[in-house]
Amino acid sequence: MQPLQDPLAIQNRTLDVEDYIDVIRRHRSLILAPMLAGLVISVVVAFLWPDTYLSSATIRVLPPQVPEGLLSMPLSMDMSQRVNQMTQSILSRATLTNIINTHSLYPRERKRLPIEDIIEEMRAKAINVGLIGGGGSNQGKTMAFTVSFKYENRVIAQRVCADLVTKFIDENVRERASSSSQMKDFVEDQWANRKRELDAVEEQLSKFKSANVGRTPEQQGATFSAINGIETRMTNLNASLGRINQDRLIIENQISILKDQLKQVTVPTSENITMLVPKNERLIAVEREISNFENRLQALREQYQDNHPDIKASVANLQIMRRERERLQKVQDDLEQAAKKSSGTVSGLRPEAVREARALEIQIQQLQGRIEASKMEEETYKKGLVDADRSARTLQGTLATMPSSEKEYEQLRLQSMLARRDFEEIDRMRQRANAAVELENRKQTEKLEILDQASLPMNPTEPKRWIIILGGAIGGLVMGICFAGAKEMKDSTLKNLKDVRAYTQLTILGCIPLLENDLVVRRRRRLAWLAWSTACLASIAIMTGSVVFYMTSK
């Protein structure tokens, strides 16, 4: 006989497939019981869980029926931002409360929960708004969006979804009408202010002419005519420079467009083009005139002292021009602030794109050559402008003896000219605002249209019953296996001959089977079959009752 080893020095025997089969055989009841319980519980949950139907509709965005460049008033913003704003407005507490009361939604929840909790649950789980972007050149731009609603009753779900679609369309019409009306009111106020200023300056100029009839010296008329001619020439030169700059901007814009097209030919891109209020042309002209007055004042101060009448008159005119610049800058800031409230935005390499890319590069080089030519022409005009300014300063030096009344007349004339230019500019903006409101009234701007009506769902979207049942059965099986494993680990008895040989290191000469009373064995088997039959029948009854309840309630 071999000596016994220390039990603490013997390692656990590695289990094989036969051992695992023995474990399952010994603990089959402990494994199957949780599996059956999980199956029953999952069936009851799956069929007592009420059906949820999803009704959805699609709304597309129709582009304006007039060219976008026809009106420069910023009366639209990016459609995705507008959809988000409309969603916030439609999902407000008042609107959702009206929908709940109109369609008698959530009767059980309203009996036990406050309306605020029901509205939050409705926002989070029942209502969904999804954006659909365009393809190709419209990639990244919202072309349509979907509205969906979940509810237990499929007919009510369809009605509520149709109601939400109607509210989106009505809200879009209301927001656009409100935006255009606000812009029109703002421009009307500015137009009234400019009209009052122009009338006041015209009245002062008329009174001055009536009080100083015939007091202008004849010899000064030719000088003024020459100065006016030089100013006209300078105006023409400035206009030519402005035209050159405008043409250059157009060419640069064309180059940018060609480069974008070149990028689209080689690499797909997506851009957002934002329409902003153009800078006030009059503000640019006033800034240029202020610069000319400052140069003239500096030249006069080099010749005369500060108490000279010409220097005083130039200082007074410069102050008037600066106040005018501040007023125009304020108008420009107001228009930009109003435009920011409703601003709007607008985006494969083909095997045959090589030729197209080369053609675009040639066009870009030609346009760049035109830009260089315009720069040379601009230098010529600038030299002419410097010569005209020098001549004007020389002629203004001869007017040192001009009476103060003549200087006052020039100031009033300058104020009248500036006021009239401002009035004409705001009048053009007023006409565009009125045209934009008229387009809104005629429904010719961007609008929403129902692409797909609210659907009537035939099959529920929730719950996924077979997934729940399968998950419950698998979960019960895993739990049973865990219980069996835990029990097996806590059982330290020797189960078979392999355990005896591994842990005792003894030679096995024979094996005597366990002999039990047949009556006891049969009784135990009968009790086990009775218990399992009862459990199976009860489980089948419970699951059948759940299915019958679901079918009858449906």
Task: Check whether residue 369 and residue 487 sit in a common domain.
Answer: no
Q: State if pTM tops 0.85.
A: no
Residue 141 in any domain: the answer is no
Would you state the pLDDT for residue 138?
52
* Regions of the chain where pLDDT drops below 70: 1-13, 64-79, 133-142, 209-224, 265-280, 335-336, 338-354, 395-407, 439-440, 442-446, 492, 494-497, 499-500, 502, 513-516, 554
- The region that residue 136 occupies, defined by phi over 0 for left and psi between -120 and 50 for alpha, beta otherwise, is left
pLDDT of residue 398: 55
CB contact at 8 A, 241 and 385 = yes
403 shares a domain with 483 = no
Domain-embedded: residue 427: yes
280 in a structural domain:
yes
- 């020389």: which residue's tokens? 394
Is 549 contained in some domain?
yes
**371 shares a domain with 318:** yes
Same domain, yes or no: 429 and 479: no
Spatial separation of the C-alpha atoms in residues 30 and 34, rounded to whole Å: 7
d(CA 97, CA 118): 9
What is the rounded distance in angstroms from the CA atom of residue 480 to the CA atom of residue 456?
44
Q: Name the domain count of the chain.
A: 2
Strands 53-62, 127-133: pairing is: unpaired
Do 469 and 544 sit in the same domain of this protein?
yes
Using CA atoms in the order 428, 429, 433, 436, what is the torsion angle rounded to 10 degrees?
70
The token pair that represents 409 in the structure block: 């007349």
Residue 545 has what DSSP assignment? H
Domain boundary residue, one of 407, 442, 477:
442
Same domain for 378 and 436, yes or no, is yes
Asked, for residue 88, whether it belongs to a domain, the answer is no
Query: Of 385, 410, 442, which residue constitutes the final position of a domain?
Result: 442
Residues 478 and 424 in one domain: no
Q: Hey, how many other C-beta atoms are within 10 angstroms of the C-beta on 429?
A: 19
What torsion, rounded to 10 degrees, do the Cα atoms 191, 196, 199, 205 define? -120
Residue 143 lies in a domain: no
Nearest 10 degrees: Cα torsion 422, 426, 428, 430: -160
- Please indicate, yes or no, whether residues 429 and 507 belong to a single structural domain of this protein: no
Identify the pLDDT of residue 343: 40
Distance separating alpha carbons of residues 532 and 447, to the nearest angstrom: 68
Of 442, 471, 499, the one marking the end of a domain is 442
The DSSP annotation for 223-245 comes to HHHHHHHHHHHHHHHHHHHHHHH
Per-residue model confidence (pLDDT) at position 160: 92
Answer yes or no: do 305 and 434 share one domain: yes
337/217 same-domain check: yes
Domain span at residue 238? 202-442
258 and 392 belong to one structural domain? yes
151 belongs to a structural domain: no
In a domain, 172, yes or no: no
Same domain, 360 and 215: yes
The two structure tokens encoding residue 213: 């009839």
Which pLDDT belongs to residue 219?
40
Structure confidence at residue 149 (pLDDT):
92
